């Protein structure tokens, strides 16, 4: 088996400090890499002066060998806080109003990608499969190709790919698009993202489609398709079951004193729709006064990207909003919202999901949203809670049996909360069973195996698979599910 080399900006550094990994990319990749083994190169999370970047920090933990690099303060400012998180992130999440494009940040982004290529180059062996992750590192393969790397290189985008009218508003969109053609396989979270990407190419007159998944641009041919990311479904379910016995779980139950728990778990990010969610909760409580004192929202919201001005502003806005609602509706012995900015470890989170009657997962846009999947996996079979899910989360493409809402419709979301809390147990069980089936069929191992199989397979294998799928004339949704079933049976789970 070829060695796997993964590159991502964020790496959950094995420092044993006990803090939770930051975000879904780190959680999912760690699970997948622990099973398969390989090398993982990324940012150490530290920044230093221009002349103080030392050698790579090398660590080995179980199956994973880590190679971590520091970045300079200027790098972090221009590449991570600047172009990645003030241009690509808002644009891919349809927030053109928040995009702050600047040439300095754009140049920093391409410079740091060149730097990552230089750090990776001496570590690459001829048969390695190279898998690069997310919007921070789009130009990395083009840099590696420029330096003569001929290995198979794949890219997975964890965030949405927007429609052409939005994407083309970014001044360097053509460079970003053509950088992607240096990869052999491009993965997106949903079929919709992949189609948006294809539309962006064609609208710019770049290349053509050879068949369902094969594209050609100039001299480069590549595969592009959706690979929805999953969780370790059964392990997470077992974790949640065990958590019911812990002291934290018992304390939490006691503090609820019979009230129903509603849960929200999100990085403090404007894409997550937290302010709209709190508005919806307030509207629900005002229109259903009998529910006041009977429910509590636990909103777990670790701070994120605090140096980026839009995130800093958001931290103030959400704290004020939660305080205002608690002030207006709370009583001496009840507050509607318990708002915390700490990050919780996964076992604690799993137990809280299981205790909750309702989860509010209401992003305005989200690549996937693993919290939605984890909440479902954590439920008890006899008395499962309800998932209220934004139709603009990638997860909504798979979890059709959730209560789907438009998070911009505050009153509609409030009505859906009332419906969900009153839902009969038979209906909750039916919805839950259907969602669990989906989560088991497409877990994090299927995601990873399917992508790597395409990456390792070479053009002929991919073409054969694409041809066998494209012969069936079906609506897009059914076509993707059928094809996934057909391929997943032949993939051995790593262990």
Ligand X SMILES: O=c1ccn([C@@H]2O[C@H](COP(=O)(O)OP(=O)(O)O)[C@@H](O)[C@H]2O)c(=O)[nH]1
Chain positions contacting ligand X, by CB under 6 A:
20-21, 23-25, 27, 265, 267, 300, 302, 343-344, 346, 349, 368-371, 374
Among positions 214, 305, 354, 428, the unique one binding ligand L263DTV3 when judged by CB under 6 A: 305
Q: 395 or 416, CB closer to ligand L263DTV3?
A: 395
CB of 327 to ligand L263DTV3, least distance (A): 31
Catalytic: which of 184, 366, 443, 454? Answer: 366
In this structure, are residues 132 and 141 in contact, taking their beta carbons and an 8 Å threshold? Answer: yes
Displacement of CA 269 from its chain's centroid (Å): 13
CB of 370 to ligand L263DTV3, least distance (A): 5
Respond yes or no: is residue 15 known to be catalytic: no
Q: Take residue 327 and report the two structure tokens written for it.
A: 């002030």
Q: Is the dihedral of CA 68, 69, 74, 79 positive or negative?
A: negative
Contacts of 432 (CB under 8 A, 6+ apart): 376, 379, 381, 384, 401
Closest residue (Cβ) to ligand X? 24
If one asks whether residue 72 binds ligand L263DTV3 (CB under 6 A), the answer comes out as no
Question: Could you say which of 75, 78, 134, 398 contacts ligand L263DTV3 (CB under 6 A)?
Answer: 134
Tell me the C-alpha distance between 137 and 390, whole Å. 28
Instruction: Report the residue number, 214 or 373, with the smaller CB distance to ligand X.
Output: 373
Order the strands of the 57-61 sheet from edge to edge.
57-61, 64-72, 38-48, 4-8, 129-133, 153-156, 185-188, 220-226, 214-217, 208-209
- CA-CA distance, 157 to 457, in Å (whole number)? 20
Residue 82 to residue 70: CA distance in whole angstroms: 17
CB atoms inside a 10 Å sphere around CB 434: 14
CA distance 66 to 57: 8
> How far apart are alpha carbons 414 and 355 in whole angstroms?
21
Name which of ligand L263DTV3, ligand X, none residue 343 binds, using a CB cut-off of 5 to 8 Å depending on partner kind: ligand X
Told to check if 76 binds ligand L263DTV3 by CB under 6 A, we report: no
140 binds ligand L263DTV3 (CB under 6 A): no
Is 168 among the catalytic positions?
no
Among 4, 5, 13, 25, binds ligand L263DTV3 (CB under 6 A): 25
CB of 10 to ligand X, least distance (A): 9
- Strand (E) or helix (H) holding 280: helix 274-287
Please tell me the distance from the alpha carbon of residue 423 to that of residue 425, in angstroms, as a whole number: 6
Segment near ligand L263DTV3 (CB under 6 A); pick from 19-27, 171-179, 428-436, 484-492:
19-27
The residue within the footprint of ligand L263DTV3, chosen from 4, 5, 7, 10 (CB under 6 A), is: 10
Q: Which is nearer to ligand L263DTV3, 10 or 152 (CB)?
A: 10
**Smallest distance from the beta carbon of 420 to ligand X, in angstroms?**
19
38 by DSSP, 3-state: which?
Answer: strand
272 is a site residue for ligand L263DTV3 (CB under 6 A): no
Among 317, 305, 238, 225, residue whose Cα is nearest residue 23: 305
Nearer to ligand L263DTV3, 193 or 454 (CB): 193
Q: Smallest distance from the beta carbon of 395 to ligand X, in angstroms?
A: 8
Q: Nearest approach, Cβ of 309 to ligand L263DTV3 (angstroms)? A: 15
Q: Record the tokens describing residue 450, joined without a space.
A: 């399917």
Q: Which does 159 bind (CB under 5 to 8 A by kind): ligand L263DTV3, ligand X, none?
A: ligand L263DTV3
Using the minimum distance from each CB to ligand L263DTV3, give the nearer residue, 24 or 351: 24
Marked catalytic residue, from 158, 193, 279, 454: 158
User: Out of ligand L263DTV3, ligand X, none, which partner does residue 300 contact, by CB within 5 to 8 A per kind?
Assistant: ligand X
In the bound complex, what is the minimum distance in angstroms from residue 309's beta carbon to ligand X?
Answer: 19
- Tell the burial category of 216 from Cβ atoms under 10 Å away from its Cβ (0-12, 13-18, 19+): middle
How far apart are alpha carbons 47 and 72 in whole angstroms?
Answer: 5
Query: Which residues are marked as active site?
Result: 158, 366
């Amino acid at each position: 088996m070829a060695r796997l080399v993964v590159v991502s900006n964020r790496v959950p550094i094995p420092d044993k400090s006990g803090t939770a990994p930051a975000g879904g990319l780190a959680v999912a990749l760690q699970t997948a890499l622990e099973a398969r083994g390989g090398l993982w190169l990324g940012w150490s999370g530290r920044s230093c002066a221009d002349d103080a970047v030392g050698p790579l920090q090398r660590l080995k933990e179980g199956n994973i060998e880590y190679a971590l690099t520091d970045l300079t303060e200027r790098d972090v400012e221009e590449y991570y806080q600047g172009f990645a998180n003030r241009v690509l992130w808002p644009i891919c999440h349809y927030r053109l109003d928040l995009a702050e494009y600047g040439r300095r940040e754009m140049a920093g982004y391409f410079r740091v990608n060149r730097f990552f290529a230089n750090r990776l180059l001496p570590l690459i062996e001829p048969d390695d499969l190279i898998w690069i992750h997310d919007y921070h590192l789009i130009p990395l393969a083009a840099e590696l190709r420029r330096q003569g790397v001929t290995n198979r290189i794949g890219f997975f985008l964890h965030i949405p790919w927007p429609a052409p009218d939005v994407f083309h508003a970014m001044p360097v969109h053509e460079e970003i698009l053509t950088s992607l053609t240096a990869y052999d396989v491009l993965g997106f979270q949903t079929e919709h993202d992949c189609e948006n990407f294809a539309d962006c190419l064609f609208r710019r007159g770049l290349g053509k489609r050879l068949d369902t998944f094969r594209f050609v641009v100039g001299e480069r041919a590549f595969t592009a398709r959706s690979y929805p990311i999953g969780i370790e479904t059964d392990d997470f379910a077992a974790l949640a079951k065990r958590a019911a016995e812990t002291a934290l779980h018992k304390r939490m139950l006691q503090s609820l004193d019979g009230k129903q728990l509603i849960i929200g778990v999100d990085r403090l990010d404007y894409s997550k729709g937290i302010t709209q969610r709190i508005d919806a909760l307030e509207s629900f409580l005002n229109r259903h006064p009998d529910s006041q004192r009977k429910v509590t929202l636990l909103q777990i919201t670790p701070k994120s990207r605090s140096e980026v001005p839009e995130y800093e502003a958001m931290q103030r806005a959400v704290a004020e909003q939660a305080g205002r609602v608690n002030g207006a509706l709370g009583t001496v012995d009840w507050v509607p919202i318990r708002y915390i900015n700490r990050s919780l470890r996964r076992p604690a989170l799993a137990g809280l999901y299981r205790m909750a009657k309702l989860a509010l997962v209401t992003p305005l846009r989200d690549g996937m949203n693993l919290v939605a999947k984890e909440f479902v996996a954590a439920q008890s079979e006899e008395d499962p809670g309800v998932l209220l899910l934004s139709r603009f989360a990638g997860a909504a493409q798979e979890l059709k049996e959730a209560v789907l809402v438009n998070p911009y419709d505050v009153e509609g979301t409030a009505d859906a909360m009332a419906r969900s809390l009153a839902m009969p147990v038979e209906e909750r069980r039916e919805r839950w069973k259907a969602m669990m089936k989906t989560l088991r069929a497409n877990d994090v191992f299927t995601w990873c195996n399917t992508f790597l199989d395409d990456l390792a397979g070479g053009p002929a294998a991919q073409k054969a698979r694409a041809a066998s799928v494209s012969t069936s004339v079906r609506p897009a949704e059914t076509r993707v599910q059928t094809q996934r079933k057909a391929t997943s049976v032949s993939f051995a789970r790593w262990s």
